[in-house]
Chain A
Amino acid sequence: MNAVIGWLRQRLPGPRWLVIGVPFLWMLLFFAVPFAIALKISFSQALIAMPPYSPIVEWNDTALTLKLSFNNYLYLIRDNVYVSAYLSSLGIAVVSTAICLLIGYPMAYAIARMSPANRNICLMLVILPSWTSFLIRIYAWVGILKNNGLINNMLMGIGLIDEPLQILHTPLAVYVGIVYAYLPFMILPLYANLVKLDHRLLEAAYDLGAKPWQAFIKITLPLSRAGIIAGSMLVLIPVVGEFVIPEMLGGPDTLMIGKVLWGEFFNNRDWPVASAVAIVMLALLLIPIMIFHHHQSKELESKLS
């Protein structure tokens, strides 16, 4: 009996494995498997069938054939609508990340310098909007930005303009929506970083002759680099693939890869091309993610050594 229990103990995963295994299983089920499926579809050919693509592995009589079609990827390169969609997505993501950083840094800095009671209130105010559905919040911006919406009515009411301004369905509206939606993801990591900043380092800098702005450039900014990178990645990566905001606030000329993907999948029912679009987007995002990861592990290393 004891031998059986001992054997079971050795073979069955212990609590340590459970802790590591749960996120591992999660990643496997919800990232690795869907990714593999999308990768597989991206190498197949579109068919009018169910499912709407050809199998890549086939058993014909006595031969197992693996048929990888690179057509979809070549198609992405040949038709410059995809290239320009990728570039414009990246452009919009970079610009809106920069705007988030410009707005978010002073906010995070101010919150980190507040008394603990005020600090909690302000952090709450930053997080509070996400308690409402993302869709509803973006839809609310339609009401604010549209021709007979809040902004235009106000401006006309005080007589600044005679005709409504076209804001909705312009790139400006897309930037407003993205910056609004992703600002908390910039503020929170920056705040977490800045709140740890040792105030005595700034005093030491003043003491050695640095004016407050010089101390900020030479001490605060370099020491908050990890927070800047974390916040920027948290904004940049999801914005590249953003679909809802350009769909609801953008116009027909706002070209973003998320919208293209949607069109391929639901309008053209071309699953293989849609999958290829997704795979290339992931590959593009992998570069900044790897930079981020490399930086993080370097930071960790310098702390441990």
Chain B
Amino acid sequence: MSSEQQPSSAGSAAPRQEMLGAENYVQLVDIRKEYDGFVAVDEVNLAIRKGEIFALLGASGCGKSTLLRVLAGFEQPTRGEVKVDGQRMNGQPPYRRPINMMFQSYALFPHMSVEQNVAFGLKQDGMPAAQIKQKVDEMLGLVQMGAYAKRRPHQLSGGQQQRVALARSLAKGPKLLLLDEPMGALDKKLRSQMQLELVNIIERLGVTCAMVTHDQEEAMTMAHRIAIMDAGKIRQVGTPDEIYEQPNSRFTAGFIGQVNLFEGKIEDDEKDYISIRSPDLPAPLYVGHGVTGYEGMEVALAVRPEKILISKDEPEQPHNKAQGVIEEIAYLGSHSVYHVRLPSGKRVLANMTNVRRWASESFTWNDQAWLSWGDQSGVVLTS
């Protein structure tokens, strides 16, 4: 995962926030789901805004899919409440919910044509045939599949199947659209193209959307807000840039992108700065803002590799620096990743963007190099 891309895509998501409406359009209150004593989802509280694309991100088995199935109505929560647009959803079977889902492997009906697949939900609602025809044409036009209306699903490519699945789940105009691993069945190149297209279609219709994914790049590209899940619990909710730049724990800092964690104790706790003494580094760590803590408190400073500057000469600043030996270099074209071993044995990652051609040639293996970062570059983590 390239860490360069993430802040930029996160930045693009921020302005979208302003278009969003009602704060608590979809609400999950104290949701808990147990299977024979195993707790899959634990005390989850979430509020999704109207028109928002909300991603549940986590490793497999973290409970994100269970949560999605609770929303869809395939699972009933052991405890807690699900509300959509003020309506209580508990006890409602999936076929009575104003919620539609795009399934992971699309689950298109193999014995029906593209057209019939999209019309299925409308027929269930008892819509008159002429209206169904019009709606199906509109939906297939939206996903640019109008020319394939008579085909069967098995005659379509993976990307085309996904478009049909999207049209089918949008046809009924759901209050909430659920996407289960939307790009899971696509190859990498098609994935990035479809991610943006999917977002465009969803935003054009203004439909509220909850998606589940294990791919952080996908979550950051597509979602307005992300919830990081682990072991059935939500660890952090925020916009992609908040999650990346202001993780609230060692777990989320490590889960999204790459990070250097310097463990240490608060040495100096002032109103507008703190300093941390870490056994990993000879120089003290200096953070240019206050934190709610106390002297001697055990904390970690998280610094992303792209915020660490690598240089030949010793930087002038008295803190936030260390000298080490370059052990590994990963040249990735747009940037290089340097693995630097400090005298304490700590290994630190530092990225250097290759702004000049052949810039990577200035360092080689076993070179001594200085690492340094600004006093606003790190995040102090207490949990």
Contacts and interface: CB of A to CB of B under 8 A. Distances in A.
Interface in A189-223: 198, 200-201, 203-211, 214, 218-219, 222-223
B124 A214 contact: yes
A218 B109 CA distance: 10
B172 A200 contact: no
Contact of A302 (B99, B107, B152): B152
B121 A208 contact: yes
Contacts of A209: 95, 121, 124-125, 172
A45 B120 CA distance: 63
Nearest to A203: B74
B107 A219 contact: no
B107 A208 contact: no
Nearest to A204: B107
A208 B120 contact: yes
A115 interface: no
A91 B108 CA distance: 39
Interface string B352-380: 00000000000000000000000000000
A200 B124 contact: no
B74 A208 contact: no
B95 A211 contact: yes
B222 interface: no
Contact of B72 (A207, A214, A218, A223): A207
Contacts of A222: 111
A54 B152 CA distance: 59
B76 interface: no
A228 to B, nearest CB: 13
A305 interface: yes
Contacts of A219: 109
Contacts of A207: 72, 94-95, 99-101, 169
B141 interface: no
A210 B155 contact: no
A223 B172 contact: no
Interface in B71-106: 72-74, 93-95, 99-101, 103, 105
Contact of B94 (A198, A203, A305): A203
A305 B110 CA distance: 13
Contacts of A198: 107
B96 to A, nearest CB: 8
A204 B100 CA distance: 9
A206 B93 contact: yes
A303 B154 CA distance: 8
Contacts of B72: 203, 207
Given A208-B121, A210-B124, A203 B107 contact: yes
Contact of B124 (A201, A203, A208, A305): A208
A218 B124 CA distance: 11
Given A209-B95, A223-B111, A203 B103 contact: yes
Interface size classification for chain B: 20 to 34
Contacts of A305: 155
A203 B121 CA distance: 12
Given A207-B72, A207-B101, A208-B168, A201 B107 contact: yes
Contacts of B120: 205, 208, 210, 218
A218 to B, nearest CB: 8
Contacts of B103: 200, 203-204
Nearest to A206: B94
A206 B95 contact: yes
Contacts of B108: 204
B91 to A, nearest CB: 15
Interface in B178-234: none
Which of B72, B107, B172 has the most A CB atoms < 10 Å from its CB? Answer: B107
Interface in A215-252: 218-219, 222-223
A145 to B, nearest CB: 43
Contacts of B124: 208-210, 214
A18 to B, nearest CB: 35
A255 to B, nearest CB: 41
A207 B152 CA distance: 21
B132 to A, nearest CB: 13
Contacts of B74: 203, 206
Nearest to B69: A203
A23 B332 CA distance: 61
Contacts of B93: 206, 211
B109 A204 contact: yes
Contacts of B94: 203, 206-207
A201 B109 CA distance: 6
Contacts of A200: 103, 105, 107
Contacts of A204: 101, 103, 107-109
Contacts of B73: 206
A242 B111 CA distance: 36
A208 B111 CA distance: 16
A159 B110 CA distance: 56
Interface in B137-159: 152, 154-155
5 contacts: A203-B94, A203-B107, A204-B101, A210-B95, A219-B109
Closest 10 CB pairs of A and B: A208-B121, A209-B124, A204-B107, A200-B107, A206-B94, A209-B95, A222-B111, A206-B95, A207-B101, A207-B94
Given A203-B72, A209-B125, A210-B124, 11 more contacts: A201-B110, A203-B74, A206-B74, A206-B95, A208-B100, A208-B168, A209-B121, A211-B95, A302-B152, A302-B154, A303-B154
Interface of B: 72-74, 93-95, 99-101, 103, 105, 107-111, 120-121, 124-125, 152, 154-155, 168-169, 172
